[in-house]
Structure 1
Amino acid sequence: MGMQVDSSQWNSMHASYKESALFHRRFKHKDVDSLIQVHRNSGLFNISQIGKSVEGRAIYEIAYGKGDKKVMLWSQMHGDEPTATMALFDIFNFLEGKGDGFDSIRNLLQENLSIRFIPMLNPDGAERFLRRNAQSIDLNRDARANQTVEGALLKSRAKEFNPRYGFNLHDQNIYYNVPDTKNPVTISLLAPAYNTERDVNEVREGAMQIIVGMNKILQQYVPDAVAKYDDTYTPRGFGDNFQSWGASTVLIESGGLKGDPEKQQIRKLNFIIILNALMEIAQGTYENYDAKGYEEIPFNASQMHDIVIRGLSFGNDSIPLKSDIAIRRGETTVAGDYFVRGRVEDIGDLPESYGYDEVEADGLRFIAGKIAPQAIPDLSILTPEVAYDLLKKGYMGVQVAKLLPAEEGMLHSLPIQVFSKTAFAATPFIDLGGTTNFYIGDSTGNLKYAILNGYLIDLSKSVKDIGLLKNRIQ
């Protein structure tokens, strides 16, 4: 069986060592750089700057352990996929701990493993919260050509270190679901193929066995919310190439979890499954898992949306329509933060589509939103309570007569659209790709729900129960 950790211990461990300086997805290179300098001072790790990005940002490798089993982990080769990066810094904090009852784990890893962590391979992409590097090249499609400095750096480190195990750490979009369920895929796993035929050799089988162990733990935390990523062979991809180079390589994709927009719970799951996998590699216990369990994990489906409204009456007086509507939200990055715009993703017969939020709208109808008849003099008057009172009265937008220069384009979480010069765009009718600012109400005009910028607001709830909104002054 080997050394094992139970759920309460994992929970305690992560709570104790979670890196407080990283608390949202849009941290920058400077945040990582400053943390690395702190860890350098601890003396536990051998930290080296192994290169620079296109724009000159330092790329670091953190070495730990003195064992014979070589493990390499790299994160954020896509700049907008940072969840595992946060988890790695939680792991660094844990490895520096002592006297907490977990020293046997640290000793196990220290004595048996030689680990190389690259926590942020694409700092220029992270700066912009974009997938690609500063030259607009996808680093994970550069394993073959090595056209980028960052991709060439990862390959050179792999060839020099020659790891026996690899962990390729990513985020996938939040709209994957477990097939035939409305469960978002919270973690997606993959043992990448090393050839077009997707053969299973000893190396790939090892990755499959490690994944079986990960899935066993994840089912305790997020039951029926784990899937496999597409295993089509990608000759340009790093995971596929690491597998062919002889490293049992596991792809971890952080997906979606309702109520966790900044992926802090998914970060914790990364912490747990990565540390546990390192323990099992150190002990060799992953070899006890039957690789057939990997095949039992379903592949990702892609049927999730932010909101699905079922059976809503809309259309016009002459041609009525009753149908389903699927809505997704898109993020736009501004100054390190972001705002959201909702759009109609699909209209029609959608029983196989699922939503993080769903509305059974039988007997309900589309009602257009209005603009508040009077502008407010300035933003100080517009408290969440005032905004919500306007929303419940049928007003989705309100004009601010005078904005300070610093307030123009400002991000806000008020339950209403705020505009100054550009008129607020209420949704006049449901249109594919169109805006999502409208009400759902009954035949007498009573408002039940607001769809505000792609967010569902149940108007029977209090303003304190609405949750996170990410809007922008227009």
Structure 2
Amino acid sequence: MKKLQFLPIFFLLFSFGLSAQQEFYKELYEKYPDYKEEDVKQRRFTHDLVVDLIAKQEKNSYFRINKVGESIEGRSLNLLSIGSGKIDVLLWSQMHGDESTATMALFDIFNFLNSEDFKTEKDVMLKEVTLHFLPMLNPDGAEKFQRRNALGIDLNRDALRLQSPESKTLKMVRDSLDADFGFNLHDQSRYYNAEGTNKPASISYLAPAYNYEKSINEVRGNAMKLIVIMNNIIQNYAPGQVGRYNDDFEPRAFGDNIQKWGTSTILIESGGYPNDPEKQEIRKLNFVSILAAIFAIAEEDYKTIAISEYESIPQNDSRLYDLKLTEVTYELLGNEYILDLGMNHREVPGNTPQEYFYRAYVADRGDLSTNYAYKSKELSGYKLSSGRVYPEILKDLEAVEKLDFNKLLEQAYAYVQVENLPENEHFTDYPVNLVTPNFKVAEDISHSFFLEKDGKPEYAVINGFLVKTDEELSAVENALILRQ
């Protein structure tokens, strides 16, 4: 046991085992609001904000900040380092411009490192490890909140050719540090679930393979062991919501190659969490699990972990919808059929980088009994009917404001005709879709329809949001503005 005189908390970890560790990380988790970076509250933010947040760290003499490169469009790539230990740990985020959850968590970790809390434990940790953070590797993609960089390529498929300056920077930093551990921080689809369960894979981990055979050497094995520790921590706060990402070898990917180059690499994928569109809960999970891994690296706790525990983490599956409606009666050409409907919401960019809205679509239909959803409704005995167009043509939004929306939905009106729709607007906060005059409803099942029982529309689906026609309609986060 190293440096026992400095380790009151870590002494407990060794003496009392996992339960003491859980208490330590529980305290970190509970104190998270003290460290949360309040200047970033949404997933969609740009390089300017990151630069401002990095500048705040310059006030802390413990951080060493260096510009290590530039993006294609000339935005800075910055490396923040702290600690004096012989173990180098490299963490990079937002290789994909629209995958920002972990970037938020890194700034929370900076605030934790700057705080006076757990000072003894942090001082000891930073004598054992040196942390290197490269937040927002793809600032050009982040500017448009898109996956790819300004060249239009996926940086995570550029580890061999190194065509992009961002890729060259990551390779240069990894090589110059000869990092012992690496954390490759991403976001994944919110439609992934932990295999065999109805729970979203809010966090997925992976120790990437370094060859097609998926061999396990000491480097990859150490990554697997760390993931076991991280999973054990997260199970306390999001039980059953951890998955294991697919480990098929991708020879062009950075994670696979960095593992191959001798850095024990952990992929973290931030998925979905109920009622958390801005991923603030998953941000918190990133915060506590990354810190748990760093402390485990410093104390070498991971070395006693059995790799078999990694294999027991359920794999990612893809069986989630935003909304699942079961046993709906659907009439087609005079015949009635029983269908399940799985509906998803696609995010569509708005007029600013921070703005977006949802556009629903039917992802699947038929027997969906092996699938799950964030929201489900059993509708046996309910018949699907298309949404109707309100016959009166309204002049403008002021006239729309005066409508009784519950009354409209009770009469199965899903569309309201408006002469003067706002230009360049594609969604509305009203719980009905706004359309141009003479709009025609699609014949097939679309994003908006009604569910009737005994000829009465009891439920409405407006742009994929399910509401009861005679109750509060705030569940419709946005409806659509449609021009024909």
TM-score range, shorter chain: over 0.9
Q: Of 438, 443, 449, which aligns to 2:449?
A: 438
**Paired residues of 1:426 and 1:438 also in contact (CA < 8 A):** no
- Alpha-carbon distance in 2 for matches of 1:460, 1:189: 44
**Paired residues of 1:214 and 1:273 also in contact (CA < 8 A):** yes
Point out the more displaced range, 26-35 or 450-459: 450-459
Aligned counterpart, 2:219: 203
Structure 2: which 5+ residue stretches go unaligned? 1-12, 15-19
Aligned counterpart, 2:53: 35
TM-superposition CA deviations, 1:358-408 (whole Å, max 9, x none): 121211110111122324443345459844543343221223343565xx4
With the length of structure 1 as denominator, give the TM-score of the two structures.
0.92
Q: Of 314, 321, 339, which aligns to 2:337?
A: 321
Aligned counterpart, 1:97: 115
**Paired residues of 2:91 and 2:134 also in contact (CA < 8 A):** yes
Aligned counterpart, 1:429: 444
Point out the more displaced range, 348-357 or 369-378: 369-378
Residue 370 of structure 2 is aligned to residue 361 of structure 1: no
1:4-403 matched pairs, under 5 angstroms: 4=21, 5-6=23-24, 8-98=26-116, 100=117, 102-316=118-332, 318-334=334-350, 335-336=352-353, 337-380=355-398, 382-383=400-401, 386-403=404-421
Structure 1 residues 293 and 423, CA gap change in structure 2 (3 angstroms): farther
- Alpha-carbon distance in 1 for matches of 2:120, 2:480: 48
Give the secondary structure class of the aligned counterpart of 2:408.
helix
**Paired residues of 2:323 and 2:373 also in contact (CA < 8 A):** yes
Point out the more displaced range, 131-140 or 446-455: 446-455
Counterpart amino acid of 2:236? Q
Structure 1 residues 108 and 452, CA gap change in structure 2 (3 angstroms): farther
Counterpart amino acid of 1:220? N
Point out the more displaced range, 34-43 or 140-149: 34-43
- Alpha-carbon distance in 1 for matches of 2:430, 2:188: 29
Structure 1 residues 90 and 425, CA gap change in structure 2 (3 angstroms): farther
**Paired residues of 2:419 and 2:437 also in contact (CA < 8 A):** no
Counterpart amino acid of 2:473? V
Quote the offset at 1:429 in angstroms. Answer: 2.9
**Paired residues of 2:433 and 2:479 also in contact (CA < 8 A):** no
**Paired residues of 2:432 and 2:479 also in contact (CA < 8 A):** no
**Paired residues of 2:393 and 2:437 also in contact (CA < 8 A):** no
- Alpha-carbon distance in 2 for matches of 1:389, 1:103: 60
- Alpha-carbon distance in 2 for matches of 1:150, 1:331: 26
With the length of structure 2 as denominator, give the TM-score of the two structures.
0.90
TM-superposition CA deviations, 1:261-292 (whole Å, max 9, x none): 11110000000100111111111112232221
Aligned residue pairs: how many?
463
Aligned counterpart, 1:469: 478
- Alpha-carbon distance in 1 for matches of 2:308, 2:139: 38
Quote the offset at 1:67 in angstroms. Answer: 1.0
- Alpha-carbon distance in 2 for matches of 1:154, 1:327: 38
- Alpha-carbon distance in 1 for matches of 2:364, 2:427: 28
**Paired residues of 1:108 and 1:279 also in contact (CA < 8 A):** no
Quote the offset at 1:424 in angstroms. Answer: 5.5
Give the secondary structure class of the aligned counterpart of 1:41.
coil
- Alpha-carbon distance in 1 for matches of 2:62, 2:100: 24
Structure 1 residues 145 and 212, CA gap change in structure 2 (3 angstroms): same
Structure 1 residues 384 and 141, CA gap change in structure 2 (3 angstroms): farther
Residue 473 of structure 2 is aligned to residue 455 of structure 1: no
Point out the more displaced range, 60-69 or 312-321: 312-321
The CA RMSD measured in Å over matched residues stands at 2.1
- Alpha-carbon distance in 2 for matches of 1:117, 1:62: 5
**Paired residues of 1:426 and 1:437 also in contact (CA < 8 A):** no
Point out the more displaced range, 10-19 or 242-251: 10-19
Give the secondary structure class of the aligned counterpart of 1:111.
helix
Structure 1 residues 423 and 344, CA gap change in structure 2 (3 angstroms): farther
**Paired residues of 2:388 and 2:413 also in contact (CA < 8 A):** yes
Structure 1 residues 447 and 470, CA gap change in structure 2 (3 angstroms): closer
- Alpha-carbon distance in 1 for matches of 2:250, 2:187: 18
Quote the offset at 1:418 in angstroms. Answer: 2.2
- Alpha-carbon distance in 1 for matches of 2:198, 2:49: 36
- Alpha-carbon distance in 2 for matches of 1:384, 1:201: 68
**Paired residues of 1:74 and 1:167 also in contact (CA < 8 A):** yes
**Paired residues of 1:166 and 1:249 also in contact (CA < 8 A):** yes
Quote the offset at 1:249 in angstroms. Answer: 0.7
**Paired residues of 1:55 and 1:134 also in contact (CA < 8 A):** yes
Quote the offset at 1:121 in angstroms. Answer: 0.3
**Paired residues of 1:331 and 1:339 also in contact (CA < 8 A):** yes
**Paired residues of 1:427 and 1:436 also in contact (CA < 8 A):** no
Give the secondary structure class of the aligned counterpart of 2:360.
strand
**Paired residues of 2:101 and 2:279 also in contact (CA < 8 A):** yes
Give the secondary structure class of the aligned counterpart of 1:42.
coil
**Paired residues of 1:315 and 1:429 also in contact (CA < 8 A):** no
Percent of residue pairs identical = 40
**Paired residues of 2:155 and 2:167 also in contact (CA < 8 A):** yes
Give the secondary structure class of the aligned counterpart of 1:20.
coil
- Alpha-carbon distance in 2 for matches of 1:423, 1:36: 53
Quote the offset at 1:69 in angstroms. Answer: 0.9
TM-superposition CA deviations, 1:12-45 (whole Å, max 9, x none): 3211111111111111111111111122233331
Structure 1 residues 385 and 26, CA gap change in structure 2 (3 angstroms): farther
Quote the offset at 1:356 in angstroms. Answer: 1.4
Quote the offset at 1:251 in angstroms. Answer: 0.3
Structure 1: which 5+ residue stretches go unaligned? none
Counterpart amino acid of 2:32? H
